[in-house]
Structure 1
Amino acid sequence: MTITGGCRCGACRYELALDAPPPVYACHCHMCQRASGSAFSVQALVPEASLTVTGPIVVHEITTGDRTSIQRFCGTCHARVYNTNTRRPGIAVVRAGTLDRSEELECRAHIFTDYRQRWVTIPEGVPQWPEMAPLAEFAAALTQG
């Protein structure tokens, strides 16, 4: 199965070689709010090797302490498409809203909820953490379903 997506202008396109749409999570931290211009960012963790990108990509690196986040944007419309992080080698963080069929995705977890906008209501039964989730719990929440 191939899952497709791209930026808002269509100049940058990608394919994910996955068997099913990836599970997604919402991050409510202030950095994601500022980067998305919204109340939170919805993202999918996918194997970087499953991602093939075509079109103009602009790279911006952000170093914080011991990690570097390598952000990839469309070189034409500057929509943020995905990033990688030196703390998670081999994993790409795809912006879920860039998937062609994003309306079919199910948000399986919420992180950094201490920073959420107070008008955002998280559905009952969806795992949530006030800050970053413990890795094992977070992985379990994303793989259930």
Structure 2
Amino acid sequence: MSTIAGGCRCGAVRYTLALDALPTTYACHCLDCQTWTGSAFSQQTFLPEDSLAVTGPVSVYELTTPSGRVSRQRVCGICHTRIFNTNSARPGVVVVRAGTLDRSDHLEVVAHIWVKRKQPWLDLPRDVPAWPEGAPVEQLSQALARGRTDA
């Protein structure tokens, strides 16, 4: 198995993913993701937590959602780049921010969620699955598993 590398903007935090190929990603257009990124959407992927190895000064921001789930955001302790998070609703899974991968320009977006909050100027491809709000986990997982990008 090879590894895929990534890190924060300042380089203090680096990580590797024990994967043979770049993961496929999804775009979330919800208001929270727009606020977190300061942009139109966030791009990320679900991965097994044990595939991720991180070095450097990581800070944790913990948030309890209105539904009672606990989201733990990991950011660089120096530049505050958001790198990944875990959620009590998905034990053993990490959500990696796609833009932190060294080869983020080679990633494929295979699904869009929360498109009812999508910016009106953004046109989505018709052949990519999209949901008005959050996608059922099984359907989003299937979309992510359909395509894989070469390493």
TM-score category, normalised to shorter length: over 0.9
Q: How far 1:135 sits from its partner (Å)?
A: 2.0
Q: Which has the higher strand share?
A: 1
Q: How far 1:19 sits from its partner (Å)?
A: 1.5
3-state secondary structure, aligned to 1:77: coil
Unaligned runs of 5+ in 1: none
4+ runs deviating over 4 angstroms:
none
3-state secondary structure, aligned to 1:11: coil
Q: Deviations over 1:59-84 (max 9, x none)?
A: 01000122000000000100000000
Aligned to 1:40: 41
Letter of the structure 1 residue corresponding to residue 20 of structure 2: D
3-state secondary structure, aligned to 1:18: coil
Aligned to 1:5: 6
Aligned to 1:28: 29
Aligned to 1:92: 94
Q: How far 1:20 sits from its partner (Å)?
A: 1.1
2-structure distance, mates of 1:48, 1:37: 26
Q: How far 1:123 sits from its partner (Å)?
A: 1.0
Q: Deviations over 1:18-57 (max 9, x none)?
A: 1111110000000000000000000011111000000000
Q: Deviations over 1:66-106 (max 9, x none)?
A: 20000000001000000000000000000000000001100
3-state secondary structure, aligned to 2:131: coil
Letter of the structure 1 residue corresponding to residue 130 of structure 2: Q
Give the TM-score taking structure 1 as reference length.
0.98
Unaligned runs of 5+ in 2: none
Q: Structure 1 residue 138 and structure 2 residue 120: aligned?
A: no
Percent identity, aligned pairs only, is 59
Supply the RMSD in Å over aligned alpha carbons. 0.7
Corresponding pairs, count: 145
3-state secondary structure, aligned to 1:124: coil
Give the TM-score taking structure 2 as reference length.
0.94
Aligned to 1:129: 131
Letter of the structure 1 residue corresponding to residue 80 of structure 2: H
Aligned to 1:101: 103
3-state secondary structure, aligned to 1:110: strand
2-structure distance, mates of 1:106, 1:84: 22
